[in-house]
Chains A and B, each alone.
Chain A
C-alpha cells in the first residue's frame, strides 16, 4: 500500500492523517475514516473541511493517540458488568487498545465458541454479521467499527430471536474526554508508524500517520 493510492482523504500540505489499519477495510480516498491534523495540530474527523474538534496542540501524534485511547475506553465500558468471554474482532490499534484494557481489567482472556460479548473494530460487514451469529444468546455486539457503506441486516435471526444487543460506541473525537490524558496514550505513541508522503505503508502497521503533500517549490 502506498500513500499515492487513495488511502486517506486528500491532505493539504503540512497536514497529517492518522489511520487505524482496520479503517482501511471500508471506503476509499475521501470517504475513508481518518483523524486529520492541520498544520497547527488541531484535530478533525475525516474531512479537511470539517470543523476542528480538538483545538491546536503542538503534538498531534499525542492527541490523536488519546482520541483513539478514549474510543477504546468507551468500547470496554460498553461491556462493563458482563461476565463471560469478551472477544475483539479487528487487527488495528483500536482493537489492540481494547484488548489491552480488557487484559488490565479481567486478566488473561479465555477463548470461547460463544463469547458473551464481541467488540468489532473491523469495518468489513462480514465481520459484524459473523459476530452477531457467534455471540452467545443474550450477548452483546459492540459496534466500534468504521464503515462507509450501508449494511443489510436480518434482525430476526441475528438480533431479535436470540436477544442479542447491538451497542454503538462513538468513534474518535466524539467524546468530551478525548483530549484528556489516557493510560493508553503511551502505547499508541509507541505504536504509531510515520509514513512520509509517497512512501508505502509498512506491513504490520496498526496505527500510522500519513503526511500530506509536501509544499511545492
Chain B
C-alpha cells in the first residue's frame, strides 16, 4: 500500500469503527458484545465479498463458535462454493482434538485464541462442489479434510482433501488430522526396525503414535501414562510394557532409543531425557503448554541427545522445501492404515455428540470429564440447517450473543404456561369446592377474588370482626357475610376455610376449622412460629382434612416455566440463589397494612406476626427456592436491623448453606427510602442461570425445553396466569380427586422452619440448622 493511502487507512478505520460501535450500542449491544457483533458482521461481509469476487454461490450451514471465554454457541456460518483449487464438503463428522481444543478453551499458554473463534481442524464428509481444476476427488466422493473447523460445511484448499478408501467409515476418517499429527511424529522419530521406543502419554495422539511405532517395527514399545485408563487399548495395539506413574512405577532409565513425548506437559522433557538412551531422540509431539522452567540442557549436551520438534505445521515447511504434498502423504498413509484395521481405530472413539450440545461438551472437556476421542456428528442436525443456500440480502443474526443478557431473545416457547392454563381455564362443574373466607382485610380481597376466579371453587361466606369488610366482599362475590366464626364453621355448605388473618390467629382458627371438618387453606406464613405451624399440621391430620398454605407464586407463569426448565436440566446442579427484596413501607402500614382497610398493630408485634419482612414477605421466596430446585437448607445464618421502638426487623440478611453445597442469600428491607418495590430473584447452577425477577429470562448451556443453548431467552409467555386463582383451582381439584394438594403440610413446616432458624440465628449469633429445629418440633409432643 502506498504511504499516502496507508496514512488515510488508519483514520478511516477509526471513524468506521467508532460509527459501528455507536450503531451497535444503539441497537442494544452491551459494550463488550459490540466486538463480537462486529466480528460476525465482518464474517458476513467477507463471505459476500468472497462470493462476489469469485463469482460463487454462497452456502449456509452451522458451525460451533466460541463467542467468548468459556462460551460456546452453534451459529449460522456462510461459505462460498469452491473455486479453482478448492473443494466444498458437506461435513459428516468433525473430530475433537482433545488436547489442543481443551488448551484453547482454557486459554492455556501457547494456545490462546481470539474470540469469536471457530475450534476444530479434522473432518470428513461428502464433496458437493469442486474447482474445475480439481480432479483427485469427484462430486459425491467421501473425503477426509485436514483442517476445517467444527462446521457442517467447509470450502478448503483441494490439497487438504483426501479421498476416503472404500470401507472406511466417515466417522473414522474424521480423525485424519490427528492421524497426520501422529504420522509426522513417527517420521520425525526415525523409528527403525528393532528400536526400543517409549511413548509418554496415552491420549489419542500418544495411542496413535504407539500404534504407528509398533507398525514401524519397533522391538519394544513402552507406554508411560498417569493412570491405567488406557492400558487395555495400549496393550491391544502392541505396547510391550505399560508404566503407570500414579502407581509409583517408573520406566527403566536410558532404555529407549526413541522417546515420543505426547503429553503436552512442558516438564515432561525431564522424564523423556531420563528414559532415553545416550545418543537417542526425544520427539516433542504433544504441544507443550508452557515454559520448561529448567530445560536439561547439560544432560542433552553431555549425553548427545536430540530433542526434535514435531508439529503438524512442519509439514507445510516440508512442502515448501521439497514440493511434495506432505499433508497428503501422511494423510493417505493414515487412511490406508485405518482401512487395514478399522476395528482398532473404532476403539479410540468414545462418543459422538450432537452439535447442538457443544456447549455442554466443551464445559465437560474443560473440566477433564471427556475421555477418549469424541466426534461431532453433523448428520444429527436437520438438513435445512446443515447445508443450504444463503440469502445474500439477509442480515446476520447478531442479537443476544451468549453474554448479552440485556437483549434476550423473544419468547418462543410457552408450553410452561399451558401447564397452568389447563387448570385455570377448566369449566365450572358440579363439584365445586365451597370456601369460607376468614379475614377480609388486605389479603382477603385478593383471596376472595382468586376463589371467584377459580372454575372449580366458590366463595360461600365471609367473616371478619370488622363487619363492613365482610359485607364488602360478600356483596362483591355474591356470598354470605356471617357474624361469628362458630356460625361459619357450623355451616354444612362450607367445605374449606381460607384463613387470611393475622399470623398469631392461624393456629387457633385452623384448629377450630379442622375440628369442624373443614379443609384448611392458610395464607402464608403457616403460623407465627414453628410450634404454631406444627400444631396446625397436627390438627389437620387428627381431623383427616387437607391442609395447604397459600404460596400462590408457585403458579405464576414464569415460575412454572422455570420449574419445567429446571426439571429438564437447564440449571444442572443447583449452586446458588440470590433474593433481594426492597420495599419502602409507609409508617401507616404498621397500623393498617397498605390499604388501611383494617386498623391493627399486629404487623409490628413480634409475638403476633412472628417477625418482620422475612416472615411477611421473604417467606414467598423461601418456598419458591424449595419448589424450584428441591433442595433444603443445611445451615442458616442471619443478621438484622431494627428501627428503634419496633419489635420486628426492618432489614435482614440471611445466608444459607444448602444441603447440596449450594448457597443462598436473602437480603431485604422494608424501609428503603424511595423504593416502592424492587426485587431480584436469581438461581444458578452448574449449567445455567434463571433470572426470575425483575424480568424472567433463562440461560443454559444445555438444549432443553425449547430453550436454545447458550442464549439468554425470555420466559414466562406473553400472558400472565393469576397465580392465586391457579392455586385455588389446583387445591379444589386435589380435594375433588382425593389426592394430596400441591402444597402440603411438609411444605408448610419447611418454610416455617427456615424462618424460625433465621430468627434463632439472630438470637444465638451463629448458624442454625432448620432440619434440627424441624426434627425437634416433630418429636416434641
Listed in ascending order, the chain A residues whose CB lies under 8 Å from chain B are 74, 128, 137-138, 143-148, 150-157, 159-171, 174
- A162-B311, A162-B314, A162-B317 known; A154 vs B303 contact (CB < 8 Å): no
CA distance in complex: A20, B294 (Å): 25
From A151, A155, A168, give the contact of B304 (CB < 8 A).
A168
Tell whether, in the assembled complex, residue A153 and residue B309 are in contact, meaning their CB atoms are under 8 Å apart.
Answer: no
Of B43-51, B53-61, B162-170, B282-290, the one contacting chain A is B282-290
List residues of chain B with CB within 8 A of the CB of A171: 301-302
Find residues 261-281 in chain B having any chain A CB closer than 8 Å to their own CB.
Answer: 266, 269
Tell whether, in the assembled complex, residue B306 and residue A137 are in contact, meaning their CB atoms are under 8 Å apart.
Answer: no
List residues of chain A with CB within 8 A of the CB of B288: 154-156, 160
Sort A-B residue pairs by CB-CB distance and give the 5 closest, nearest first.
A163-B314, A150-B294, A137-B317, A168-B300, A153-B295
List residues of chain A with CB within 8 A of the CB of B10: none
CA distance in complex: A162, B188 (Å): 12
The answer to whether the Cβ of B393 comes within 8 Å of any Cβ in the partner chain is no
Minimum C-beta distance from B667 to chain A (A): 48
The answer to whether the Cβ of B233 comes within 8 Å of any Cβ in the partner chain is no
CA distance in complex: A27, B295 (Å): 17
Given A154-B292, A159-B308, A163-B309; 8 other pairs, CB 8 A cutoff: A154-B109, A155-B284, A155-B295, A161-B309, A161-B313, A162-B311, A166-B306, A170-B303
From A156, A167, A174, give the contact of B302 (CB < 8 A).
A174
- The contact sample of 6 A-B pairs, CB cut-off 8 A, is A152-B291, A153-B295, A156-B266, A160-B284, A163-B318, A165-B309
List residues of chain A with CB within 8 A of the CB of B313: 161-163
Task: Give the residue name and chain of the B residue nearest to A154 (CB).
Answer: B291
List residues of chain B with CB within 8 A of the CB of A137: 314, 317
Minimum C-beta distance from B302 to chain A (A): 6
- A156-B287, A162-B311 known; A169 vs B301 contact (CB < 8 Å): yes
CA distance in complex: A155, B298 (Å): 16
Minimum C-beta distance from A177 to chain B (A): 14
Tell whether, in the assembled complex, residue B266 and residue A155 are in contact, meaning their CB atoms are under 8 Å apart.
Answer: yes
Minimum C-beta distance from B99 to chain A (A): 12
Tell whether, in the assembled complex, residue A157 and residue B110 are in contact, meaning their CB atoms are under 8 Å apart.
Answer: yes
List residues of chain B with CB within 8 A of the CB of A152: 291-295
Task: Give the residue name and chain of the A residue nearest to B188 (CB).
Answer: A163
Task: Give the residue name and chain of the A residue nearest to B320 (CB).
Answer: A137
From B304, B310, B318, give the contact of A169 (CB < 8 A).
B304
Minimum C-beta distance from A196 to chain B (A): 31
Tell whether, in the assembled complex, residue A156 and residue B289 are in contact, meaning their CB atoms are under 8 Å apart.
Answer: yes
The answer to whether the Cβ of B244 comes within 8 Å of any Cβ in the partner chain is no
Task: Give the residue name and chain of the B residue nearest to A137 (CB).
Answer: B317
From A74, A138, A147, A161, give the contact of B321 (CB < 8 A).
A138
Tell whether, in the assembled complex, residue B310 and residue A160 are in contact, meaning their CB atoms are under 8 Å apart.
Answer: yes
CA distance in complex: A171, B317 (Å): 32
Tell whether, in the assembled complex, residue B304 and residue A170 are in contact, meaning their CB atoms are under 8 Å apart.
Answer: yes
Tell whether, in the assembled complex, residue A155 and residue B292 are in contact, meaning their CB atoms are under 8 Å apart.
Answer: yes
The answer to whether the Cβ of B307 comes within 8 Å of any Cβ in the partner chain is yes
CA distance in complex: A147, B298 (Å): 7
List residues of chain B with CB within 8 A of the CB of A165: 306-309
Task: Give the residue name and chain of the B residue nearest to A158 (CB).
Answer: B309
- A155-B284, A160-B287, A171-B302 known; A150 vs B293 contact (CB < 8 Å): yes
Task: Give the residue name and chain of the A residue nearest to B294 (CB).
Answer: A150
Task: Give the residue name and chain of the B residue nearest to A136 (CB).
Answer: B317
- A150-B295, A161-B313 known; A170 vs B321 contact (CB < 8 Å): no
List residues of chain B with CB within 8 A of the CB of A147: 297-298
List residues of chain B with CB within 8 A of the CB of A167: 304-307
Tell whether, in the assembled complex, residue A159 and residue B297 are in contact, meaning their CB atoms are under 8 Å apart.
Answer: no
Task: Give the residue name and chain of the A residue nearest to B306 (CB).
Answer: A167
CA distance in complex: A153, B273 (Å): 15
- A166-B306, A170-B303, A171-B302 known; A154 vs B294 contact (CB < 8 Å): no
Minimum C-beta distance from A118 to chain B (A): 15
Tell whether, in the assembled complex, residue A160 and residue B297 are in contact, meaning their CB atoms are under 8 Å apart.
Answer: no
List residues of chain A with CB within 8 A of the CB of B109: 154, 156
Tell whether, in the assembled complex, residue A168 and residue B305 are in contact, meaning their CB atoms are under 8 Å apart.
Answer: yes
Task: Give the residue name and chain of the A residue nearest to B269 (CB).
Answer: A155
Tell whether, in the assembled complex, residue B302 and residue A168 are in contact, meaning their CB atoms are under 8 Å apart.
Answer: yes
CA distance in complex: A2, B301 (Å): 29
CA distance in complex: A104, B303 (Å): 27
Interface centre among A137, A169, A170 (most CB of B within 10 A): A137
Tell whether, in the assembled complex, residue B287 and residue A166 are in contact, meaning their CB atoms are under 8 Å apart.
Answer: no
Minimum C-beta distance from B27 to chain A (A): 40
Tell whether, in the assembled complex, residue B307 and residue A166 are in contact, meaning their CB atoms are under 8 Å apart.
Answer: yes
Interface centre among A147, A150, A163, A169 (most CB of B within 10 A): A163
List residues of chain A with CB within 8 A of the CB of B300: 143, 166, 168
Task: Give the residue name and chain of the A residue nearest to B290 (CB).
Answer: A154
CA distance in complex: A167, B321 (Å): 21
List residues of chain B with CB within 8 A of the CB of A146: 301
CA distance in complex: A203, B291 (Å): 38
CA distance in complex: A156, B269 (Å): 12
CA distance in complex: A167, B292 (Å): 17
Task: Give the residue name and chain of the B residue nearest to A143 (CB).
Answer: B301
CA distance in complex: A169, B288 (Å): 24
From A148, A153, A154, A161, give the contact of B311 (CB < 8 A).
A161
Minimum C-beta distance from A119 to chain B (A): 12
Minimum C-beta distance from A115 to chain B (A): 14
Minimum C-beta distance from B653 to chain A (A): 49
Find residues 723-777 in chain B having any chain A CB closer than 8 Å to their own CB.
Answer: none
List residues of chain B with CB within 8 A of the CB of A163: 188, 308-311, 313-314, 317-318
Tell whether, in the assembled complex, residue B311 and residue A128 are in contact, meaning their CB atoms are under 8 Å apart.
Answer: no
List residues of chain A with CB within 8 A of the CB of B307: 155, 159, 165-167
Task: Give the residue name and chain of the A residue nearest to B111 (CB).
Answer: A156
Minimum C-beta distance from B112 to chain A (A): 11
Tell whether, in the assembled complex, residue B287 and residue A161 are in contact, meaning their CB atoms are under 8 Å apart.
Answer: yes
Interface centre among A145, A155, A161 (most CB of B within 10 A): A155
List residues of chain A with CB within 8 A of the CB of B309: 155, 159-165
Task: Give the residue name and chain of the B residue nearest to A140 (CB).
Answer: B306
List residues of chain A with CB within 8 A of the CB of B318: 138, 163
Minimum C-beta distance from A27 to chain B (A): 11
Task: Give the residue name and chain of the A residue nearest to B293 (CB).
Answer: A152
Task: Give the residue name and chain of the B residue nearest to A125 (CB).
Answer: B297
List residues of chain B with CB within 8 A of the CB of A162: 309, 311, 313-314, 317
List residues of chain A with CB within 8 A of the CB of B303: 168, 170
Minimum C-beta distance from A81 to chain B (A): 13
CA distance in complex: A156, B103 (Å): 13
Minimum C-beta distance from A38 to chain B (A): 22
Minimum C-beta distance from A164 to chain B (A): 5
CA distance in complex: A148, B305 (Å): 18
Task: Give the residue name and chain of the A residue nearest to B292 (CB).
Answer: A153
Minimum C-beta distance from B638 to chain A (A): 52
Minimum C-beta distance from B279 to chain A (A): 9
CA distance in complex: A5, B478 (Å): 112
List residues of chain B with CB within 8 A of the CB of A170: 301-304
CA distance in complex: A31, B266 (Å): 28
CA distance in complex: A147, B317 (Å): 32
CA distance in complex: A154, B108 (Å): 13
CA distance in complex: A144, B310 (Å): 22
From A138, A166, A174, give the contact of B314 (CB < 8 A).
A138
- A151-B294, A157-B110 known; A168 vs B306 contact (CB < 8 Å): yes
CA distance in complex: A31, B277 (Å): 26
Minimum C-beta distance from A53 to chain B (A): 13
CA distance in complex: A35, B454 (Å): 102
CA distance in complex: A195, B33 (Å): 71
CA distance in complex: A161, B302 (Å): 25
Tell whether, in the assembled complex, residue A143 and residue B314 are in contact, meaning their CB atoms are under 8 Å apart.
Answer: no
Interface centre among B188, B295, B309 (most CB of A within 10 A): B309
List residues of chain A with CB within 8 A of the CB of B292: 152-155
- A161-B311, A163-B188, A163-B309 known; A151 vs B297 contact (CB < 8 Å): yes
- Per-residue CB contact flags for chain B residues 403-423 toward chain A (1 = under 8 Å, else 0) read 000000000000000000000
CA distance in complex: A147, B287 (Å): 27
Minimum C-beta distance from B79 to chain A (A): 27
Minimum C-beta distance from B390 to chain A (A): 35
